[in-house]
């Protein structure tokens, strides 16, 4: 039965792919005017005759005295491409699009929009942009970043959360759960843990080289190494914790004792079925209530105590 469902799902997906491919092959994108190499006569002064982008001039991109910035060179056309024909055409009452427009209404592909940005910014944390998840998803830089505002929203905690959670809907719900990482409150940012511009082959876009190293940035006390290690803790924090939000305390995937019983079943108390009989009103059980297993095995992240083999010291 499971294989049948899998086959049906695969067939459905394949059918969607084929249909979409057929539709796509039949349709044609509206032809764009070919790019030209004709620049405007007066640079930004040409553009500002029609376009008002005052806040932009408070940003780093507009500093003419800094030779690294667009305004030290081709000004608006450094990013938007040669605007000579656009300016002449518009002045003559003809609709001639700018070579590269940004934003959701742009006719250029993500790669075309991103190329001017990467010309300067493809370095350091953005070295791995090509082939990263967001690049693979054809995201233009301008779908997140705002260059014509005085402060790019992606540089503030609130702005980041608002933008990231527009697409990452599951995480938006996670941040309203009982225990969370406080992105909703603006006291940490998505980019404290994630590098949205691509890092790591594993696909989590983390700021450090591994998941655990990322967690240790704020939780260095759990790094160890400890005399008595708890193997899943050393391997991968996310085996027990869910990073964005949980119904259960301490961002756990499941409450103890069930979480612990997924991996511990020796003879004795770890293998017992703890049922509602152990609740107050029945026979209150220390194996079930308060911290459950953690009441005794409190050093669950590892112990450096010579007598901590059972993570109880």
> Which residues 71-130 are close enough to bind another protein by CB under 8 A?
71-75, 77-79, 81-82, 99-100, 104, 108-109, 111-112, 115-116, 118-120, 122-124, 127-128, 130
Q: Which of 8, 33, 94, 103 touches another protein (CB under 8 A)? A: 33
Contacting another protein within 13-32 (CB under 8 A):
13, 16-17, 20-21, 23-25, 27-29, 31-32
Q: How far is the CB of 191 from another protein (least distance, A)?
A: 14
SS3 303: strand
Q: How far is the CB of 123 from another protein (least distance, A)?
A: 4
Nearest to 293 by CA among 266, 281, 307: 266
**Two structure tokens written together for 216:** 């240790």
Nearest to 287 by CA among 297, 61, 24, 211: 297
Nearer to another protein, 71 or 190 (CB): 71
Stretch that binds another protein, among 87-95, 189-197, 205-213 (CB under 8 A): 205-213
Q: How far is the CB of 94 from another protein (least distance, A)?
A: 18
SS3 180: strand
* Residue tagged 């998840």 (tokens): 133
Q: Which of 145, 191, 232, 241 touches another protein (CB under 8 A)? A: 232
- Does 252 sit near another protein (CB under 8 A)? no
Q: How far is the CB of 219 from another protein (least distance, A)?
A: 9
Contacting another protein within 281-300 (CB under 8 A):
281, 284-286, 288-292, 294-299
**Two structure tokens written together for 118:** 């990467």
Beta-carbon neighbour count of residue 62 at 10 Å? Answer: 20
**Two structure tokens written together for 135:** 């690049």
**Residue 270: CB partners within 8 Å, gap ≥ 6?**
257, 260, 261, 264, 293
Q: Which of 1, 4, 54, 95 touches another protein (CB under 8 A)? A: 54
DSSP state of 17: H
Nearer to another protein, 65 or 93 (CB): 65
Contacting another protein within 129-158 (CB under 8 A):
130-131, 136-138, 150-151
- Does 63 sit near another protein (CB under 8 A)? yes
Q: Which of 45, 91, 94, 103 touches another protein (CB under 8 A)? A: 45
For residue 107, report the phi and psi dihedrals to the nearest 5 degrees: -90, -10
Q: Which of 8, 68, 94, 103 touches another protein (CB under 8 A)? A: 68
Q: How far is the CB of 95 from another protein (least distance, A)?
A: 17
Buried/exposed 229-259: b ≥16 CB within 10 Å, e otherwise = bbeebbeebeebbbbbbbebeebbeebbbeb
Beta-carbon neighbour count of residue 10 at 10 Å? Answer: 10
Nearer to another protein, 92 or 201 (CB): 201
């Amino acid at each position: 039965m499971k294989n049948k469902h899998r086959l049906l799902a695969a067939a459905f997906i394949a059918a969607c792919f084929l249909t979409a491919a057929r539709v796509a092959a039949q349709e044609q994108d509206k032809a764009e005017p070919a790019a030209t190499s004709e620049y405007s006569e007066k640079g930004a002064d040409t553009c500002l005759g029609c376009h008002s982008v005052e806040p932009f001039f408070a940003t780093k991109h507009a500093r003419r005295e800094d030779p690294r910035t667009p305004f030290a060179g081709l000004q608006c056309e450094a990013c938007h491409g040669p605007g000579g024909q656009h300016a002449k055409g518009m002045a003559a009452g003809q609709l001639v699009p700018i070579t590269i427009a940004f934003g959701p209404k742009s006719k250029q592909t993500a790669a075309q929009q991103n190329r001017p940005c990467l010309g300067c910014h493809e370095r350091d944390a953005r070295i791995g942009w090509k082939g990263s998840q967001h690049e693979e998803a054809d995201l233009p830089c301008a779908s997140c970043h705002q260059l014509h505002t005085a402060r790019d929203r992606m540089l503030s905690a609130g702005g980041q959360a608002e933008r990231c959670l527009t697409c990452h809907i599951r995480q938006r719900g996670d941040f309203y759960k009982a225990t969370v990482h406080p992105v909703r409150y603006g006291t940490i940012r998505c980019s404290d843990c994630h590098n949205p511009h691509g890092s790591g082959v594993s696909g989590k876009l983390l700021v450090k080289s591994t998941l655990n190293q990322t967690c240790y940035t704020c939780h260095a006390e759990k790094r160890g190494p400890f005399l008595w290690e708890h193997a899943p803790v050393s391997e991968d924090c996310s085996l027990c914790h869910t990073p964005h939000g949980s119904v259960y305390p301490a961002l756990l995937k499941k409450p103890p004792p069930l979480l612990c019983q997924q991996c511990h079943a020796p003879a004795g108390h770890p293998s017992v079925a703890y049922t509602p009989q152990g609740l107050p009103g029945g026979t209150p059980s220390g194996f079930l209530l308060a911290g459950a297993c953690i009441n005794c095995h409190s050093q669950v992240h590892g112990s450096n105590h010579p007598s901590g083999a059972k993570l109880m010291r």
